[in-house]
Amino acid sequence: MSLQEIALQLVAPNKGILAADESTPTIGKRFAKINVENIEENRRIYRELLFTTPNMGEFISGVILYDETIRQRASGGHTFVTVLEKQGVLPGIKVDEGTEALVDSPNEVVTKGLEGLPKRLPEYVNMGAKFCKWRAVIKISADIPTEKCVQINSERLAKYAKLCQQNNLVPIVEPEVLMDGDHTIEKCFEVTKKVLLTVFAELKKAGVAFDSMILKPNMVISGSECVKQAGAKEVAELTVRCLKETVPAEVPGIAFLSGGQSEEFACETLNEINKVSAECPWQLSFSYGRALQASTLMAWGGKSENIKAGQEAFLKQAKLVSLARDGKLEA
C-alpha cells in the first residue's frame, strides 16, 4: 500500500483510530480508578480485550500502540500486530518519548524522541507498523504559550513527519493545545490557529507530503476550568472555522483527539463538527483514547469473567463514535 492509501484507509467513512498508546504511568492512573495493579500482564490482558473485540474493524480503522504493546502477544500466541491485521485494522506506533521542560520557560514543555528515531523506525516497520504518532503539548495560561515553545514543537513535529515518510510510514501529526486551564473558547481558537499555522509552515519547509499524513488536533474548546463552557455547536463552528483557515486541502483527514472530554461530549462535539463540515475538503474523523475506553475499563474492572462485558462496552462506544464521525448520531 502507498502512504496515501494508508492515510485514506485510516480516515475511511464510518471509521476512526483507537489511541491505545498510553504510557505505563498513564495507564496506571486509569487502572488505579478500577483497582487494577499496573503490571505488564494486566496491561497485556486489557489490550488483548480491546484488540480481540469481535467486529471492531467495522468502526476502527487503526490502533496506535505503545512500544511495550507492539512487542506483546495475545494469549493465542499471535503478536498484537497480527491480531489487528486479522480484524482489518492497521497497526501504528507512538514514537515520541514524552516531554521535557523548555529551557528558559519551565512551565512549558517540548517533546523529545528525535534522537535515535532514524534507528527505531525501521524496527517498527519490520514489526508491521503502518503509521506513527508524535504528540506536541501546548499549554495556555496568562503568559504562555511562548513563540519559542510553539516554534520548537512545530520543528520537531516536522522532522518526525519527514523521517516517517522516508521510512514508508504515515505520520500522525498531533499538536495538542490542552484544555487544562480557565481560558475561554476564543483564546483556544487564537492559540490553536497560531499553532496550526506554525506546524504547517514547518511541515512544508521540511518537505513533508501533505497527502500522506494525518492531522490529530484538539478541538477548539473552552478551558476545563472556564466559567463559561461552550456547547457542542459552538465548539463545532469554531473548530471548523479554525481548520479552514489553517489546514491545506491536500491533507486527507483530520482525526480529532478527545483531550479529556467525556465519552458523551466527545461524541456530541464530533457529531456537530460533521454536521457543519459540508464544504471541508478533508475527512473529519477521530483518534480517541479515553473517549473510547472509559466505559470499557469500568465494565471490565480487571476481572477475567468481565472480558465479554468489557468488549461489549467497547463496541457500543465505538459504534456511537462512528455514528458521530459521520454526523449521524441521534440526540
Q: Just list the catalytic residues.
A: 174, 216
Helices (H) and strands (E) in the chain, counts: 12, 10
In order of 29, 33, 63, 94, the CA distances from 129 in angstroms are 27, 31, 10, 10
How far apart are alpha carbons 305 and 122 in whole angstroms? 39
What SS3 class is residue 37? Answer: coil
From the number of C-beta atoms within 10 Å of its C-beta (0-12, 13-18, 19+), residue 124 rates as buried
Provide the strand spans (E) within the chain: 16-19, 60-65, 90-94, 99-102, 105-111, 131-138, 170-177, 214-215, 253-256, 283-288
CA angle 223, 239, 204 (to 5 degrees): 110
Q: Which residues contact 216 (CB under 8 A, 6 or more apart)?
A: 133, 135, 172, 173, 174, 176, 254, 255, 256, 257, 287
How far apart are alpha carbons 226 and 69 in whole angstroms? 37
What SS3 class is residue 256? Answer: strand
At 87, list the grid cell: 480484524
Q: What is the DSSP letter of 330?
A: -
How far apart are alpha carbons 308 and 50 in whole angstroms? 10
In the block, cell 499553532 appears at: 195
What is the chain's percent helix, strand, coil content, to nearest 5?
Answer: 50, 20, 35
What SS3 class is residue 172? Answer: strand
DSSP sequence for 282-327: SEEEEEESHHHHHHHHHHHTT-GGGHHHHHHHHHHHHHHHHHHHTT
